[in-house]
Structure 1
Amino acid sequence: METLNFRFENGTRRVTPHAELVGVVSSGNLEVLIETAVLNGGCEVEVKTAAVGFAAIWQAVIADFHLRWSLADVRISINDVGATPAVVSLRLDQAVESMMGATT
Protein backbone atom coordinates (compact mmCIF):
# COMPACT_ATOMS: atom_id res chain seq x y z
CA MET A 1 0.00 0.00 0.00
CA GLU A 2 1.09 3.54 -0.72
CA THR A 3 -0.34 6.69 0.84
CA LEU A 4 -0.20 9.94 -1.13
CA ASN A 5 -1.19 13.34 0.21
CA PHE A 6 -2.06 16.42 -1.83
CA ARG A 7 -3.09 19.90 -0.71
CA PHE A 8 -4.42 22.78 -2.76
CA GLU A 9 -4.74 26.31 -1.44
CA ASN A 10 -7.16 29.17 -2.06
CA GLY A 11 -10.19 27.18 -3.16
CA THR A 12 -13.14 29.29 -4.25
CA ARG A 13 -16.05 26.85 -4.02
CA ARG A 14 -17.55 25.70 -0.74
CA VAL A 15 -19.96 22.82 -0.31
CA THR A 16 -22.77 22.22 2.16
CA PRO A 17 -21.30 20.95 5.44
CA HIS A 18 -21.71 17.18 5.56
CA ALA A 19 -19.97 14.04 4.28
CA GLU A 20 -20.60 11.96 1.18
CA LEU A 21 -19.32 8.48 0.30
CA VAL A 22 -19.42 7.27 -3.30
CA GLY A 23 -18.27 4.01 -4.80
CA VAL A 24 -17.09 0.95 -2.98
CA VAL A 25 -13.71 -0.69 -3.27
CA SER A 26 -15.23 -3.84 -4.77
CA SER A 27 -17.11 -1.88 -7.47
CA GLY A 28 -14.75 -0.07 -9.80
CA ASN A 29 -11.97 -0.63 -7.28
CA LEU A 30 -12.39 2.78 -5.68
CA GLU A 31 -14.26 4.60 -2.94
CA VAL A 32 -14.23 8.33 -2.24
CA LEU A 33 -15.20 10.03 1.01
CA ILE A 34 -15.58 13.79 0.80
CA GLU A 35 -16.27 15.91 3.87
CA THR A 36 -16.11 19.50 4.92
CA ALA A 37 -13.29 20.55 7.25
CA VAL A 38 -11.77 23.78 8.50
CA LEU A 39 -8.69 24.06 6.26
CA ASN A 40 -8.35 27.84 5.79
CA GLY A 41 -9.65 27.61 2.22
CA GLY A 42 -7.59 24.56 1.39
CA CYS A 43 -8.50 21.19 -0.05
CA GLU A 44 -6.69 18.08 1.19
CA VAL A 45 -6.70 14.75 -0.61
CA GLU A 46 -5.36 11.52 0.87
CA VAL A 47 -5.01 8.53 -1.44
CA LYS A 48 -4.44 5.01 -0.12
CA THR A 49 -3.64 2.80 -3.07
CA ALA A 50 -2.49 -0.73 -3.72
CA ALA A 51 -0.97 0.41 -7.03
CA VAL A 52 2.47 1.53 -5.85
CA GLY A 53 4.57 3.80 -8.08
CA PHE A 54 1.87 5.88 -9.75
CA ALA A 55 2.26 9.12 -7.77
CA ALA A 56 2.75 11.23 -10.92
CA ILE A 57 -0.51 9.95 -12.42
CA TRP A 58 -2.37 10.56 -9.16
CA GLN A 59 -0.92 14.09 -9.04
CA ALA A 60 -2.20 14.78 -12.56
CA VAL A 61 -5.69 13.38 -11.89
CA ILE A 62 -6.09 15.21 -8.57
CA ALA A 63 -4.72 18.48 -9.99
CA ASP A 64 -7.19 18.25 -12.90
CA PHE A 65 -10.01 17.64 -10.41
CA HIS A 66 -8.96 20.71 -8.43
CA LEU A 67 -8.92 22.84 -11.59
CA ARG A 68 -12.51 21.77 -12.33
CA TRP A 69 -13.91 22.29 -8.84
CA SER A 70 -11.53 24.57 -6.85
CA LEU A 71 -12.93 23.32 -3.54
CA ALA A 72 -12.36 25.15 -0.26
CA ASP A 73 -12.43 23.61 3.21
CA VAL A 74 -12.85 20.06 1.94
CA ARG A 75 -11.03 16.86 2.90
CA ILE A 76 -11.15 13.93 0.49
CA SER A 77 -10.13 10.36 1.33
CA ILE A 78 -9.66 7.87 -1.49
CA ASN A 79 -9.26 4.11 -1.09
CA ASP A 80 -8.01 2.56 -4.31
CA VAL A 81 -7.37 -0.99 -5.43
CA GLY A 82 -6.31 -0.23 -9.01
CA ALA A 83 -8.99 2.02 -10.52
CA THR A 84 -8.25 3.72 -13.81
CA PRO A 85 -7.82 7.52 -13.93
CA ALA A 86 -11.20 7.81 -15.67
CA VAL A 87 -12.95 6.00 -12.81
CA VAL A 88 -11.13 8.17 -10.27
CA SER A 89 -12.30 11.34 -12.02
CA LEU A 90 -15.85 10.02 -12.29
CA ARG A 91 -16.06 9.12 -8.60
CA LEU A 92 -14.58 12.46 -7.52
CA ASP A 93 -17.09 14.35 -9.66
CA GLN A 94 -19.95 12.20 -8.31
CA ALA A 95 -18.91 12.97 -4.74
CA VAL A 96 -18.82 16.74 -5.32
CA GLU A 97 -22.09 16.73 -7.24
CA SER A 98 -23.72 14.80 -4.40
CA MET A 99 -22.38 17.30 -1.87
CA MET A 100 -23.81 20.16 -3.91
CA GLY A 101 -27.16 18.45 -4.43
CA ALA A 102 -26.66 18.29 -8.20
CA THR A 103 -28.49 15.70 -10.23
CA THR A 104 -26.87 13.85 -13.08
Structure 2
Amino acid sequence: METLTFEYRGGRPLNTGPALSPPPSVLVGVVGSGNLEVLVEAAPLGGLCRIEIQTAAVGFGATWRAVMDDVFARHPLADVRISINDVGATPAVVGLRLDQALDAFAGGAQP
Protein backbone atom coordinates (compact mmCIF):
# COMPACT_ATOMS: atom_id res chain seq x y z
CA MET A 1 0.00 0.00 0.00
CA GLU A 2 1.10 3.53 -0.75
CA THR A 3 -0.21 6.74 0.80
CA LEU A 4 -0.26 9.93 -1.28
CA THR A 5 -1.40 13.40 -0.22
CA PHE A 6 -2.04 16.35 -2.53
CA GLU A 7 -3.10 19.86 -1.50
CA TYR A 8 -4.53 22.59 -3.70
CA ARG A 9 -5.11 26.30 -3.06
CA GLY A 10 -7.17 28.82 -4.96
CA GLY A 11 -10.45 26.95 -4.91
CA ARG A 12 -13.79 28.36 -3.88
CA PRO A 13 -15.93 27.18 -0.98
CA LEU A 14 -19.41 26.08 -1.94
CA ASN A 15 -22.17 28.55 -1.19
CA THR A 16 -23.25 27.82 2.36
CA GLY A 17 -26.66 29.50 2.23
CA PRO A 18 -29.46 27.40 3.73
CA ALA A 19 -30.92 26.31 0.38
CA LEU A 20 -27.57 25.52 -1.20
CA SER A 21 -25.49 23.92 1.56
CA PRO A 22 -23.59 20.79 0.58
CA PRO A 23 -24.09 17.66 2.67
CA PRO A 24 -21.49 17.13 5.42
CA SER A 25 -20.06 14.20 3.46
CA VAL A 26 -20.60 12.00 0.40
CA LEU A 27 -19.37 8.44 -0.11
CA VAL A 28 -19.36 6.79 -3.55
CA GLY A 29 -17.84 3.66 -5.04
CA VAL A 30 -16.65 0.41 -3.54
CA VAL A 31 -13.31 -0.95 -2.42
CA GLY A 32 -12.84 -3.75 -4.92
CA SER A 33 -10.47 -4.85 -7.65
CA GLY A 34 -10.23 -2.20 -10.37
CA ASN A 35 -12.42 0.21 -8.41
CA LEU A 36 -12.16 2.74 -5.61
CA GLU A 37 -14.10 4.39 -2.82
CA VAL A 38 -14.23 8.19 -2.54
CA LEU A 39 -15.26 10.12 0.57
CA VAL A 40 -15.76 13.90 0.21
CA GLU A 41 -16.15 15.98 3.38
CA ALA A 42 -16.38 19.64 4.25
CA ALA A 43 -13.41 20.47 6.50
CA PRO A 44 -11.91 23.66 7.96
CA LEU A 45 -8.63 23.55 6.02
CA GLY A 46 -7.89 27.27 5.70
CA GLY A 47 -8.99 27.32 2.07
CA LEU A 48 -7.20 24.12 1.02
CA CYS A 49 -8.55 21.16 -0.86
CA ARG A 50 -6.69 18.12 0.54
CA ILE A 51 -6.73 14.76 -1.24
CA GLU A 52 -5.53 11.72 0.71
CA ILE A 53 -5.07 8.49 -1.24
CA GLN A 54 -4.49 4.93 -0.05
CA THR A 55 -3.64 2.79 -3.07
CA ALA A 56 -2.57 -0.78 -3.72
CA ALA A 57 -0.86 0.39 -6.95
CA VAL A 58 2.57 1.45 -5.69
CA GLY A 59 4.78 3.73 -7.81
CA PHE A 60 2.13 5.71 -9.70
CA GLY A 61 2.45 9.02 -7.83
CA ALA A 62 3.01 11.05 -11.02
CA THR A 63 -0.11 9.55 -12.60
CA TRP A 64 -2.15 10.29 -9.49
CA ARG A 65 -0.82 13.88 -9.48
CA ALA A 66 -1.89 14.37 -13.13
CA VAL A 67 -5.39 13.01 -12.46
CA MET A 68 -5.79 15.14 -9.30
CA ASP A 69 -4.56 18.26 -11.13
CA ASP A 70 -7.20 17.65 -13.79
CA VAL A 71 -9.96 17.06 -11.23
CA PHE A 72 -9.06 20.21 -9.27
CA ALA A 73 -9.05 22.25 -12.50
CA ARG A 74 -12.66 21.12 -13.10
CA HIS A 75 -13.75 21.27 -9.44
CA PRO A 76 -11.75 24.07 -7.75
CA LEU A 77 -13.09 23.68 -4.20
CA ALA A 78 -11.79 24.98 -0.88
CA ASP A 79 -12.19 23.58 2.64
CA VAL A 80 -12.84 20.09 1.30
CA ARG A 81 -11.11 16.82 2.23
CA ILE A 82 -11.22 13.97 -0.28
CA SER A 83 -10.22 10.49 0.92
CA ILE A 84 -9.66 7.75 -1.65
CA ASN A 85 -9.25 4.01 -1.06
CA ASP A 86 -8.03 2.53 -4.33
CA VAL A 87 -7.62 -1.07 -5.45
CA GLY A 88 -6.04 -0.53 -8.87
CA ALA A 89 -8.58 1.66 -10.66
CA THR A 90 -7.48 3.11 -14.00
CA PRO A 91 -7.05 6.90 -14.29
CA ALA A 92 -10.32 7.12 -16.28
CA VAL A 93 -12.24 5.32 -13.52
CA VAL A 94 -10.62 7.54 -10.88
CA GLY A 95 -11.68 10.69 -12.76
CA LEU A 96 -15.23 9.46 -13.29
CA ARG A 97 -15.64 8.37 -9.66
CA LEU A 98 -14.31 11.72 -8.41
CA ASP A 99 -16.66 13.61 -10.74
CA GLN A 100 -19.54 11.52 -9.37
CA ALA A 101 -18.57 12.23 -5.75
CA LEU A 102 -17.96 15.94 -6.25
CA ASP A 103 -21.18 16.43 -8.22
CA ALA A 104 -23.10 14.69 -5.41
CA PHE A 105 -21.27 16.77 -2.79
CA ALA A 106 -22.05 20.01 -4.60
CA GLY A 107 -25.70 18.98 -4.88
CA GLY A 108 -27.55 22.09 -5.93
CA ALA A 109 -24.88 24.40 -4.52
CA GLN A 110 -22.95 26.74 -6.76
CA PRO A 111 -19.22 27.38 -6.13
**Structure 1 length normalisation: TM-score?**
0.92
- The CA deviation string for residues 19-78 of structure 1, in whole angstroms up to 9 with x for no partner, is 000000127420000000001111000010000000000000001000001011000000
Q: Quick check: which one's strand share is greater?
A: 1
Residue 74 (structure 2) pairs with residue 82 (structure 1):
no
| Greater mean deviation of Cα atoms: 73-82 or 22-31 | 22-31
Tell me what 2:40 maps to: 34
Tell me what 1:97 maps to: 103
Q: 1:13, 1:69 within 8 Å by CA — same for their partners in 2?
A: no
Residue 6 (structure 2) pairs with residue 6 (structure 1):
yes
Q: CA deviation at 1:18?
A: 0.8
Q: 1:24, 1:30 within 8 Å by CA — same for their partners in 2?
A: yes
Q: CA deviation at 1:14?
A: 1.9
Distance 1:18 1:3 in 2: 24
- Tell me the percent identity: 61
**Structure 2 length normalisation: TM-score?**
0.86
**Which blocks of at least 5 consecutive residues in structure 1 are unaligned?**
none
| Aligned-pair Cα RMSD in Å | 1.5
Residue 56 (structure 2) pairs with residue 50 (structure 1):
yes
Which contiguous aligned blocks of 4+ residues in structure 1 show a shift greater than 3 angstroms?
A: none
Tell me what 2:30 maps to: 24
Distance 1:96 1:71 in 2: 9
Q: 1:11, 1:72 within 8 Å by CA — same for their partners in 2?
A: yes
Question: How many residue pairs were aligned?
Answer: 102
| Greater mean deviation of Cα atoms: 88-97 or 22-31 | 22-31
For the pair shown, which has the larger CA radius of gyration, 1 or 2?
Answer: 2
